[in-house]
Chain A
Amino acid sequence: MVTRFPPRPSRPRGRLRILLASGAAALALAAGSVVPGNPFAPAPQEAQAADGKSTLTVAVAQSVDSLSPFLAQRLVSTSISRLMYDFLTNYDAKDNHTIPGLATAWEPSADKLTWTYTIRDDSKWSDGEKATAEDAAWTFNKMMSDEGAATSNGSFVSNFKKVTAPSPDKLVIELKQPQATMTALDVPIVPKHVWEKVGDFSKFNNDTKFPIVGNGPFILTDYKVDSYVKLKANKDFWRGSPKFDELVFRYYKDQDAAVAALRKGEVSFVAGSPSLTPAQAASLKSTDNIKVNDAPGRRFYALATNPGAQTKDGKKFGDGHPALQDQKVRQALFMSVDRTAIIDKVFQGYAVEGEGYIPPRFGSYFWKPSGEQKLAYDPAKAGALLDEAGYKKNGAGKRTGKDGKPLDFRILCHATDPNDKAIGKYLQEWWGELGIGLKVDCRDNVSDPWYAGEYDLAFDGWSVNPDPDFVMSIHTCAALPAKAKETAQTDNFICDKQYDELYAKQLAEYDPAKRADLVKQMESRLYDTGYMNVMAYPNAVEAYRTDQIESITTMPSDAGNIYGQDGYWSWWSAVPAAGASGDSSGDSGSSTGVLVGVGIAVVVLAGGGLLFAMRRRSTAEDRE
């Protein structure tokens, strides 16, 4: 039996060489040849598109859930709705105060229950029809009568009694109760003549017929799931046409890939979700032609306590730690949180120290504690407060209650949020020094234990709207669940009579200044009770190419953010940089694409031909 192999003939060696050579050629071709200045290299970013059209490309990560403004819930989709359809009112980019939108003026009746809006006469739908009060009335009535149409904005109309349009320029809304948010109805108004043909509102996604009829600053012209959303400037928009001809939202599911696309110039703007990481921001700051916009955010990041979960009718449930029902304990915990360290170490400077409940960017509602009221970082004072509350340190340095049990808390943390985990570690250390144990309970799904009231503390955070009604309402007694563990509007089962009285007053107060004062009183009350303590306002960190975007409006206009504004200011105002198409992935990029694609096709064909020839030859030899 022969197990040895005969010496290799020399032919295959030669063939191997050919194959290796062709492989190398294929790689070189596919890679577009690694020589600078080769024909496959992309054209410079500044290149002007052949047709002279300017395009603003925005990297987004979120998938569009629906293009129907009645169903859309995600930030990306609602932002696009804002661009497609006009709202009754808008928020001023400078300071968020209400300014005209589709409505030019509005007036409440003396009894505060009827609002009359004057609808502008210079707004046209993109199919040429005029936008009237009839469209607005139809939109609101549809949401009031059809559950499917109430999916995303139903809460705005829940207090509406009747909506009518007595004339094309008059819209009348009758309320059940006075409602101060009538100038903050964030509802896209749709064209009646198009939408009345829709059958099932719960299933209609508005994504099959393009362009989509709208009257906003942009008209949606094309959409491909998880690839792109394309909009073109509405030249007839009553406030004036946007400066860019085209606005494209392009999908980057990976944030690092999106940052790479910005570096390359494939996209003009990256926001990240919700922010660029400190590392990404730092590396982009040192890149030419890129500006990092480090803006005050609209979110707050807070420490929440479980004050004892309960239902509307006062039935207790959950297993929140009883020690936290003592205000002194809650305040002691907060006083031993070194917020400066959190800003520096965890947020790496991309956040502002938290105080009041509403972030400083909403100037008219921003409140901060006075010197005396402020719970400044003071571990010694925190220890004294705990002593007062009856939780003294034992011999082992642990705080124990009167029953002798050591003080141990759990804190709910979002497993997907690295900030929660990092801050959790700091809290363990700081509270540990105080004599309190802490278990950081990180979960993918925090909402179940949260609704069940099965937590002691939690990392909490909300995005705040220009109108603070919603974030204030989630701490009223009315927001408590009807039944134990049921989903409800409450955030932390807070129910405080004094807070509720203030809430009711502000909702019925139509004078903006007086209302703002009441809101600040509520924030003050919330701060004192210590159920919710704001640790930080994380910044919105985003970046854009200055060789593609000359200028862009932030909100608030001095030092504000760009992505996810309340309004359409950023994209409506963006001015193309001189000579830039802002679209390197368009014509210039595609010619590269064509060349490389041809290269690949040639390689594949050549490789196939070579293999075929070799086979022919080998079989010929075999036949010999």
Chain B
Amino acid sequence: MSTESTPALVKGAAGVDAVQTDGPAPAGPSARSPRARSTTAYLRYAAGKLAGAAVSLFAVLVTSFFLFRLIPGDPVKQMTGGRQVSTEQIAAMRKEFGLDLPLWQQFTEYCGNALTGDFGTSYQFRAPVMDKIAEALPATLLLTGTAFVIYTAIGIWLGARSAWRNGSAGDRFHTAFALTLYSVPSFWLGLLLIITLSVGIGPIPGLFPTGGMESGSESGFAYVLDVAHHLVLPVITLVAVEYARTLLVMRSSLLDEMGSDYLTTARAKGLRDDLVRRRHAVPNAMLPTVTLLFVNLGNTVAGAILVETVFSWPGLGGLFYQALSVPDLPLVQALFFIFAAAVILMNTLADVIYPLLDPRVGR
């Protein structure tokens, strides 16, 4: 008799009380510990995770300052390259950007300002960095957020199906197809979609815009539809390339659950196979997938640089590329920090939520 799956877990996760008598009682603190103790333990656990996140954030802040100063090149030289500027003008620019100060002083000012959310002024755009980011963030969230919802749903659904019929033709097809798309460069796939579905080839008419987020002539509800129209191809590209990861994680974690006794029990009760999968197996296999979901959710902020470039999407990915090419230090630093912070926060959130999903975690 296997004891690898605990009744508490099944109950906690799936809310089915069918396997209470199956196997010995679980080891370790039981779910029936006094609630107060459990809450304190949880709070201590959560506080630990939050403190860890804070330390990571600070480390990222420090890294973002020094890392980009390792890029060879003086930003002022790069920016003025090829233009008629006098030495006096260059000195004035250095002073304006604070590049004439000693490094330690630049660093302390950077940290102090960053704490108040002020990441300085972009060299190339002469505008507050946070304004530039605020301009580009919604576009990125819209694109990557939409894609995230779709590829997560497709990935989980197909992953669960593939595992359940492990080894079947459908499983082999889905896995192979997903892996093929996963290994396709996203910009190439994007260009193919532009050439076929946007410009049109042979009998296929051009259906979608070649790039951008809006045609710029709409307002109100027409504007929403216009943006949706522009959204289709980049989202398809992102979903095609990304869903494989969720599929594979979901598939492998469900495969781990497949031989478990609680599933046998559930079947023995006479539950339909479909219900056994959906109600019993999938919820228990979700944990690794949830981790991946949160990591992906963190990445939605960073956007998809290549896809944004191919589809001329006015988001953070494109902004980051432009900032790096100068290098526009304040912008690069802020973007790097925000990208990293989003992933750290999402991971922390995942850590904090875990115990609620799986009572074994965090005790």
Contacts and interface: CB of A to CB of B under 8 A. Distances in A.
A496 interface: no
Nearest to A265: B206
Interface of B: 1-2, 71-74, 76-87, 89-90, 92-93, 96, 121, 124-127, 132, 135-136, 165, 187, 191, 194-195, 197-200, 203-218, 222, 224-226, 228-230, 232, 259, 261, 264, 267, 272-275, 278, 308-312, 314, 318-319, 322
A63 to B, nearest CB: 6
The 3 closest A-B pairs by CB, nearest first: A597-B225, A593-B229, A226-B314
Contacts of A1: 1-2, 259, 261, 264
B228 A597 contact: yes
Given A32-B207, A155-B86, A264 B198 contact: yes
A294 B192 CA distance: 27
A6 B76 contact: no
A488 B215 contact: no
A592 B207 contact: yes
B314 A227 contact: yes
Nearest to A267: B210
Interface in A540-599: 585-587, 589-590, 592-594, 596-598
Given A225-B314, A266-B210, A487-B90, A36 B218 contact: no
Contacts of A531: none
B124 A65 contact: yes
A596 B126 contact: no
B205 A36 contact: yes
Contact of A254 (B76, B211, B272): B211
Given A154-B89, A222-B216, A448 B229 contact: no
B225 A448 contact: no
A251 B322 CA distance: 14
A489 B85 contact: yes
Contacts of B229: 592-594, 596-597, 600
A203 interface: yes
Contact of B215 (A150, A593, A618): A593
Contact of A590 (B72, B127, B218): B218
Given A34-B204, A42-B206, A253-B312, A203 B126 contact: yes
B86 A158 contact: yes
Contact of B217 (A66, A258, A260, A586): A586
6 contacts: A1-B264, A36-B203, A228-B216, A448-B77, A489-B86, A592-B207
A63 B85 CA distance: 21
A30 interface: yes
B224 A597 contact: yes
B205 to A, nearest CB: 4
Given A6-B267, A487-B80, A12 B212 contact: no
Contact of A487 (B77, B126, B230): B77
B69 to A, nearest CB: 13
B77 A447 contact: yes
Contacts of A38: 205
A261 interface: yes
A12 B275 CA distance: 10
Contacts of A197: none
Given A65-B125, A147-B92, A598-B225, A487 B207 contact: no
Given A227-B216, A258-B210, A451-B77, 19 more contacts: A1-B261, A2-B267, A9-B272, A34-B203, A68-B126, A151-B93, A227-B214, A253-B312, A256-B194, A258-B211, A444-B72, A445-B71, A445-B73, A447-B77, A482-B87, A487-B80, A488-B87, A596-B207, A596-B232
A515 interface: no
A40 interface: yes
Which of B76, B80, B206 has the most A CB atoms < 10 Å from its CB?
B206
A143 B124 CA distance: 19
A66 B87 contact: no
A264 B87 contact: no
A138 to B, nearest CB: 21
A224 interface: yes
Contact of B87 (A252, A253, A487): A487
Nearest to B308: A253
A462 interface: yes
A498 to B, nearest CB: 24
Nearest to B224: A597
Nearest to B210: A261
Contacts of B85: 154-155, 489
A230 B273 contact: no
Contact of B322 (A63, A227, A585): A63
A158 B121 CA distance: 27
Contacts of A370: none
A487 B204 CA distance: 55
Nearest to A486: B87
A416 to B, nearest CB: 9
B216 A248 contact: yes
B126 A227 contact: no
